[in-house]
A and B are shown apart, each in its own frame.
Chain A
Amino acid sequence: MSIEVKNLVKVFDEKRVIDDISFKVNNSETLAVVGFSGSGKSTILKLICGLLTPDSGEIITSEGDTAMVFQYSALFDSLNVADNISFALRERKDLRKKYKEEELKDIVAQKLELVGLKGIENKFPAELSGGMQKRVSFARAIVTEPNSILYDEPTSGLDPISSTLIEDYIVRLKEETKAASIVVTHQMSTITRTADRVIMLYDGKIVFEGTPDEMLRQETPYTKQFVTASLEGPMKMLA
């Protein structure tokens, strides 16, 4: 087990955005979290990586780092690609003195190769396309060799081909790092191509849990509505 969430509750303005949610993600497993906008998907990721504090419940992660790939990459625009990737190794108290400059260069080159981007160390984020920025943020996330990786809508805003490329890298990173991964997404292709299991959120609760195939079979009113993108069904658009 690498990530375990027990009876998690998060309240914003008296609304239970996350309402008593529990799930587990094992090593080398990818869980897709799906649901309407505002259903609390990104809040779960922020709770797991410590950006938010839960109101109640427990989050247990196995020892090691939890990395996060942000929806809009969140690369540091004043730093070049190499400095972005090596940021944690240069600035973190426990890692700062561990690597020499040459070693850092090698690590950056190795991570860039892993995400299919060679020789762009000196470019700045503004000089890269959206898909390339996303892959650089993948490289930055895995630089500390994390035990769990969280992806917040990794394919949003990308064209279908770039989305496929990103999905392939999510699978590749899982195989390379053996990390437990959680992917928050709306896109069916990302779910079917990357996830081992899926949970669907609605109104802060889990309304479906199963494999992508089970979801595609549309056996519950929730999965049927989500897969067919229908306005008719138990889920109403949240304001």
Chain B
Amino acid sequence: MEFLIKLTLNNILNYNKAMRALQKYYKQSATYKIFSGVFALLEDFLNTLGQITIKGLQLLKALFTAHIDKKELIEQCDRFGISSLPITLSIVGMTSIIVASQVANEMVKQGGGHFIGLLMTMLIVREVGSIMSGFAIISMIGSSLASEIATMRVTEQIDAIKVLKVNPVEYLFVPRVLSGILMMPVIVIIASVVGVLAGAVASTLTTDLSFRAYFESAWLGIYMKDLGVSLLKGLTFGGTIALISCTCGYYASGGAKGVGLATTKAVVWSFVAIVIWDMIFAIIFFF
């Protein structure tokens, strides 16, 4: 009997030992590394999505209940709209020049020279103005918001806000997101105007089209619906960029490396988010 018990125990111990060895061997395999890498990415993706959703819901509540500090809101609007304007306008203007200089010649050759203005206006008002402004704002303002709030997190300033019994969503998120919602449509309108003008200059320089001919057809390309959708895109992009950037900064951890990671995450997520929004708008309004 004693022998049998010993034998069974030995078998169990050997089985456990063998399983551990197998586990160790498996953990070194490429399959394990690939799967664990994919799961880590998936976990990080779901985690970030959850954080953005939670902060989005808290923000929604705070937008109606928070006391809005006008001075802080104006400061954030200035940061979002005014200081980013030169870069945004340059990017949209240059994109329009690039498109116009390539398309105008071809259209003239095909006998469609009188529709260059229409095409450029439609393209800029519907797409280029909003999406390129969004990209410019992400790289300038989104990254700066994320790194600012991430620095506050790693230097315990956000903890200090909580200990002083001030709601960090109301204090940090509300003015920043509100400024994004208010300023982005304005930026999109100004950028679209600059884009149409830059397209006119490029078209007239690369072809023998006149300004008058360009703008006569340009008016035909502007619809109220397009302007409305463009404004809607502006406020959605602005709010989304600010929310994602603030959230990524808010959940930063570690030191300088954590600030860098949070900033990168904010930029990547904002880029993907506004492209997804753009696709949703295209499906809803232009399909």
Instruction: Decide: A91 and B166 in contact? CB cutoff 8 A.
Output: yes
Contact for A87 among B156, B162, B166, CB less than 8 A: B166
Q: Which residues of B contact A72 (CB under 8 A)?
A: 155-156
B276 → A minimal CB distance (Å): 32
Which of A72, A77, A91, A140 counts the most B-chain CB atoms under 10 A from its CB? A91
Instruction: Decide: B67 and A49 in contact? CB cutoff 8 A.
Output: no
Instruction: Decide: A74 and B162 in contact? CB cutoff 8 A.
Output: no
Give the residue name and chain of the A residue nearest to B167 (CB): A93
Question: Is residue A191 within 8 Å, beta carbon to beta carbon, of the partner chain?
Answer: no
CA distance A49 to B156 in the complex (A): 13
Contact for B157 among A74, A91, A144, CB less than 8 A: A74
CA distance A96 to B160 in the complex (A): 17
CA distance A18 to B259 in the complex (A): 29
CA distance A124 to B166 in the complex (A): 21
- Asked if A74 meets B166 with Cβ closer than 8 Å, knowing A91-B171, A93-B67, A96-B67, the reply is no
A134 → B minimal CB distance (Å): 13
Give the residue name and chain of the B residue nearest to A46 (CB): B159
Q: CB-CB contacts of A63-76 with B at 8 A, as 1s and 0s?
A: 00111101110111
Instruction: Decide: B156 and A88 in contact? CB cutoff 8 A.
Output: no
CA distance A96 to B152 in the complex (A): 23
Q: CB-CB contacts of B231-273 with A at 8 A, as 1s and 0s?
A: 0000000000000000000000000000000000000000000
CA distance A52 to B95 in the complex (A): 49
CA distance A87 to B161 in the complex (A): 9
A35 → B minimal CB distance (Å): 20
Instruction: Decide: B159 and A88 in contact? CB cutoff 8 A.
Output: no
Instruction: Decide: B163 and A51 in contact? CB cutoff 8 A.
Output: yes
- Asked if A74 meets B67 with Cβ closer than 8 Å, knowing A65-B165, A88-B165, A92-B165, the reply is no
B72 → A minimal CB distance (Å): 10
Q: Which of B185-212 contact A (CB under 8 A)?
A: none
Q: Which of B136-187 contact A (CB under 8 A)?
A: 152, 155-157, 159-160, 162-167, 171
Give the residue name and chain of the B residue nearest to A143 (CB): B164
Give how many A residues have a beta carbon under 8 Å from the other chain's beta carbons.
23
Q: How large is the interface on B (under 10, 10 to 19, 20 to 34, 35 or more residues)?
A: 10 to 19
Instruction: Decide: B162 and A51 in contact? CB cutoff 8 A.
Output: yes
Q: CB-CB contacts of A32-60 with B at 8 A, as 1s and 0s?
A: 00000000000000100111000000000
Q: Which residues of A contact B165 (CB under 8 A)?
A: 65, 88, 92
Instruction: Decide: A92 and B159 in contact? CB cutoff 8 A.
Output: no
Contact for B163 among A67, A71, A75, A93, CB less than 8 A: A67
Instruction: Decide: B163 and A68 in contact? CB cutoff 8 A.
Output: yes
CA distance A71 to B155 in the complex (A): 10
Instruction: Decide: B155 and A88 in contact? CB cutoff 8 A.
Output: no
Q: Which residues of B contact A74 (CB under 8 A)?
A: 155-157, 159-160
Q: Which residues of A contact B171 (CB under 8 A)?
A: 91
Instruction: Decide: A144 and B155 in contact? CB cutoff 8 A.
Output: no
Q: Which residues of A contact B152 (CB under 8 A)?
A: 76
CA distance A51 to B162 in the complex (A): 7
CA distance A71 to B163 in the complex (A): 14
A198 → B minimal CB distance (Å): 24
Which of B155, B160, B162, B167 counts the most A-chain CB atoms under 10 A from its CB? B160
CA distance A35 to B213 in the complex (A): 81
Instruction: Decide: B159 and A87 in contact? CB cutoff 8 A.
Output: no
Instruction: Decide: B162 and A50 in contact? CB cutoff 8 A.
Output: yes
Give the residue name and chain of the A residue nearest to B159 (CB): A51
Which of B165, B167, B171 counts the most A-chain CB atoms under 10 A from its CB? B165
Instruction: Decide: B160 and A70 in contact? CB cutoff 8 A.
Output: yes
CA distance A88 to B164 in the complex (A): 6
Instruction: Decide: A92 and B164 in contact? CB cutoff 8 A.
Output: yes
B75 → A minimal CB distance (Å): 9
CA distance A144 to B166 in the complex (A): 12
B216 → A minimal CB distance (Å): 51
Give the residue name and chain of the B residue nearest to A91 (CB): B166
Q: CB-CB contacts of A177-218 with B at 8 A, as 1s and 0s?
A: 000000000000000000000000000000000000000000
Q: Which residues of A contact B155 (CB under 8 A)?
A: 72, 74, 77
Q: Which residues of A contact B162 (CB under 8 A)?
A: 50-51
Give the residue name and chain of the A residue nearest to B160 (CB): A74
Q: Which residues of B contact A91 (CB under 8 A)?
A: 164, 166, 171
20 other contacts beyond A46-B159, A50-B162, with CB at 8 A cut-off?
A50-B163, A51-B159, A51-B162, A51-B163, A68-B159, A68-B163, A70-B159, A71-B156, A74-B155, A76-B157, A77-B155, A77-B157, A88-B164, A88-B166, A91-B164, A91-B171, A92-B164, A92-B166, A140-B164, A144-B164
Top 5 A-B pairs, shortest CB-CB distance: A74-B156, A88-B164, A74-B160, A91-B166, A68-B163
List 11 A-B residue pairs with CB atoms under 8 Å apart, sorted by A's residue number: A50-B163, A51-B162, A67-B163, A68-B159, A70-B159, A74-B157, A74-B159, A77-B157, A88-B166, A91-B164, A93-B167
